[in-house]
Amino acid sequence: MFRVWDVSLMICFSLSLMFVGGEGESELPPPRNLTFTWETPFELHLTWEKPKDLEPDCKVNYTVDVHHSQDCSERDKNKSQDRQVSRRIKNLSFKLDISNENGLCISVTVNPENCGIKRQSRPSEISIPPPSVRLVENRSFEYSHNRMKCTWESDVYVPDLGFYYSSDQNKTVVKCNQMKTGECVIHDTILKDMTEMFYLFNGTVNGQPVNNTFMTKGPTTFVKLDKPQLTIQKVGHDLHFQTHGSLLEFKPHCYKYNFTFSKCNEEKQVIQSNETLTVEHDSNCKYRARVQIIFSDKCGDGKSDLSDEVEYGEDRYPNLPVLLAFIIIPLIVSCCLIFSLVLLRRHKDIIFPKIPEPTLIFKDMLINNIRMAEDLRSTADGRLYIPFEEIVESRISLEPETPLIPTATDMAFKKV
């Protein structure tokens, strides 16, 4: 049994060695004489030759990878769509519209179609250095109504700086004539139909001609919409926020409307495809609103500036009477109390007249004026209260008696 097991292990080991050796022998040879030429400032033409010692009945195709960096070691690290272009073709040449902003690393790999057990070859690589001088920096673009505004900055003095553009559709290089310092405006009716844009800056630096090429997405990714206007109108129990703007260039589904408004100082935001926003009106609130037009990602990218702020209504409090009662009533009571205290202080002698002093007897009793009796000779310790003698001032006056003169009536009375 052990011998059978040993024989099985030896067979498996032999087969594994055969497969490993077969894999090393099945690799296709790489392409030969990979070269490039720039047919235009934006069009790169690649050519190569068929691999050497390729069997006549072996059919192959080629994978062309173009990486936006001179360093080929970074090719496998940055495989994003904007950093690398990959195409599979059957011919021995390839043309590609591309810019050389940061240098290029180009590789071509042979792929088997009908070559038995042979596998993909190793890549054949070449690198293209970037321009020696960067003529412009900080480029920006704004598109609106068949008009493309391009701006840039430059740290290099180039008196004969030229600016050109091209697209992947028309394959022609056009010079921008409306050029100022750091700015040029492109007018073209096919701008909004371009999916890619190529730009060329050229000039002379230190007696040497220099070309800089750049590539961006289509102009619809740099849409700059006009600043809208906003009006607020009351319709029934609702408020209508109506957007007013210039003539829209694209179809209605390409626009969104970003409404930012406040209701009683409560901020809200609504993004919708309709240019009119309807909200329920609250008469106790003040509304402030602004609107911004956004170019939908279905059609490109871009937006407008925010409109000027519009106001409607005034802030009111529904419990204002109760609130005023809680504030005004205590205020009135406090004012009346202060006024009463002032009056009492000013007229206290009239309102509260001075009470006459009590008689001497009561005064003497209050101060407990008790005296020892001098007439008593007893040994008892007695104390008698001896009141003060009250002096009463008499103002009675006597008048001399006037003799009465008898009258006739009195005489008659006596006779009777």
Please give the full DSSP string across 2-63, using - where no structure is assigned: HHHHHHHHHHHHHHHHHHHHHHHHTBPPPPEEEEEEESSSSEEEEEEEPPTT--TT-EEEEE
- Please tell me whether residues 158 and 197 are part of one structural domain: yes
- Please tell me whether residues 121 and 173 are part of one structural domain: no
Point out which residues pair with 323 in neighbouring strands.
none
pTM of the model: 0.64
Could you say which residues of the chain have pLDDT below 70?
1-25, 75-83, 317-325, 352, 354-416
Measured between its terminal Cα atoms, the distance across the chain in Å is 195
Strands (E) in 218-307, as ranges, are 223-225, 229-235, 238-244, 255-263, 266-272, 276-280, 287-295, 302-304
Closest CA to 26 of 15, 18, 34: 18
pLDDT score of 346: 75
Q: Which residue has the tokens 């994003």?
A: 80
- Please tell me whether residues 146 and 121 are part of one structural domain: no
Report the C-alpha gap between 63 and 91 in whole angstroms.
10
Neighbours of 47 (CB within 10 A): 16
pLDDT score of 367: 57
- Please tell me whether residues 260 and 299 are part of one structural domain: yes
Last residue of a domain, one of 70, 94, 128: 128
Instruction: Judge whether 245 lies within some domain.
Output: yes
pLDDT digits (tens, 9 = 90+) for 159-197: 899 999 988 777 788 898 888 889 999 998 889 889 889
Domain span at residue 120?
A: 25-128
Question: Two tokens at 311?
Answer: 């106001």
- Please tell me whether residues 252 and 230 are part of one structural domain: yes
Instruction: Judge whether 306 lies within some domain.
Output: yes
- Please tell me whether residues 288 and 363 are part of one structural domain: no
pLDDT score of 334: 86
Report the C-alpha gap between 99 and 197 in whole angstroms.
10
Q: DSSP letter for 389, please.
A: P
pLDDT score of 8: 54
Burial of residue 263, with CB atoms counted within 10 A of its CB: 0-12 exposed, 13-18 middle, 19 or more buried: buried
Instruction: Judge whether 115 lies within some domain.
Output: yes
- Please tell me whether residues 295 and 349 are part of one structural domain: no
Output the average pLDDT for the chain. Answer: 80
pLDDT score of 92: 94
pLDDT score of 15: 47
Instruction: Judge whether 104 lies within some domain.
Output: yes
Instruction: Judge whether 254 lies within some domain.
Output: yes
pLDDT score of 134: 92
C-alpha distances (whole Å) from 54 to each of 90, 143, 221, 380 are 15, 52, 47, 161
269 alpha carbon, distance to own chain's centre: 12
Q: DSSP letter for 222, please.
A: G
Report the C-alpha gap between 290 and 348 in whole angstroms.
66
Domain holding 180: CATH number? Answer: 2.60.40.10
Instruction: Judge whether 297 lies within some domain.
Output: yes
Last residue of a domain, one of 218, 253, 274: 218
β pairing state of 223-225 and 302-304: parallel
- Please tell me whether residues 212 and 230 are part of one structural domain: no
Closest CA to 278 of 322, 243, 253, 311: 243
pLDDT digits (tens, 9 = 90+) for 133-151: 999 999 999 999 999 999 9
- Considering its fold, how many domains does the chain have in total? 4
Report the C-alpha gap between 35 and 186 in whole angstroms.
35
Closest CA to 150 of 102, 199, 194: 199
pLDDT digits (tens, 9 = 90+) for 19-42: 444 444 578 999 999 999 999 888
Instruction: Judge whether 244 lies within some domain.
Output: yes
